[in-house]
Amino acid sequence: MNQQSDDLRELYRELILDHARSPRHFGRLEHATHQAAGINPLCGDKLRLYLQVDADNRIEDTSFEGTGCAISVASASLLTDTIIGQPVDKAEAYFESITKRLTHGEPAELDQNLEKLRALDGVREFPSRVKCATLAWHALHSALNQQEEPATTE
């Protein structure tokens, strides 16, 4: 019971709840060069991620909009914080390490820039919620790979 409660506290850490309540970079990005939607088939929630990539392949700006559970919104919010100002290939690498870490529980070394994302580790005890935590990251992957319109899922 205590173990259980701890798991829940671990999932809904203060940082997560904070990002869920006040998501960063929320809204539509006017001059987006890339975008993609992510649908979570489990709950039907949909979010859309916008990227503005500059001539040097650097993510100049980013935002997201949509609805979702605390986990998916917090994850999207953390994502925007993390990738802003990063080169595109770095963002793609982040996608790889985060999805691996959450999906396969790989404790792979995290880029210093990703330290904050350890806050998502709690989902690993909740297999049915991993998709919530990775949704925005899959949208990022789709957007960067120009798989525009058709709603992507995992």
Partner 1 sequence: MTQAQAQLGASAEDWRKDFPILDQSVSGHALVYLDSAASAQQPQSVIDAVARYHQEDHANVHRGVHTLSHRATEAYEGARDKIRGFINASSRTEIVLTSGTTESINLVAQSFCRPRVGPGDKVLITHLEHHANIVPWQLVCEQTGAELVVAPIDDDGQLELEALRALLTDDVFILAMGHVSNALGTVNPVKEIIAEARQRDIPVLIDGAQGVPHMPIDVQDLDCDFYAFSGHKMFGPTGTGVLYARESLLDAMPPYQGGGDMILEVSFDGTIYNELPYKFEAGTPNISGVIGVGAAVDYLQSIGMERVAASEQVLHDYMVESLSEIDGMRLIGTAGNKTSVQSFLLDDIHSHDLGTILDHQGVAIRTGHHCAMPVMTRFGISGTARASVALYNNLDDVDRLVEALRKAQQIFA
CB closer to partner 1, 15 vs 42? 42
Distance (Å, rounded) from C-alpha 109 to C-alpha 122? Answer: 17
Any residues with CB less than 8 A from the CB of 65 and at least 6 apart, and which?
26, 27, 28, 47, 48
Does the protein bind partner 1 through residue 14 (CB under 8 A)?
no
Percentage helix, strand, coil for the chain under 3-state DSSP, each rounded to 5: 55, 15, 30
Q: Judge residue 150's burial from the number of C-beta atoms within 10 Å of its C-beta, 0-12 exposed, 13-18 middle, 19 or more buried.
A: exposed
CB closer to partner 1, 44 vs 55? 44
According to CB under 8 A, which residues from 54 to 93 bind partner 1? 67-71, 73
Segment interacting with partner 1, rule: CB under 8 A, options 42-50, 56-64, 97-105, 140-148: 42-50
> If binding means CB under 8 A, how many residues of this protein chain bind partner 1?
30
Binding site for partner 1 (CB under 8 A): 1, 3-5, 7-9, 11-12, 17, 39, 41-46, 67-71, 73, 126-129, 132, 151, 153
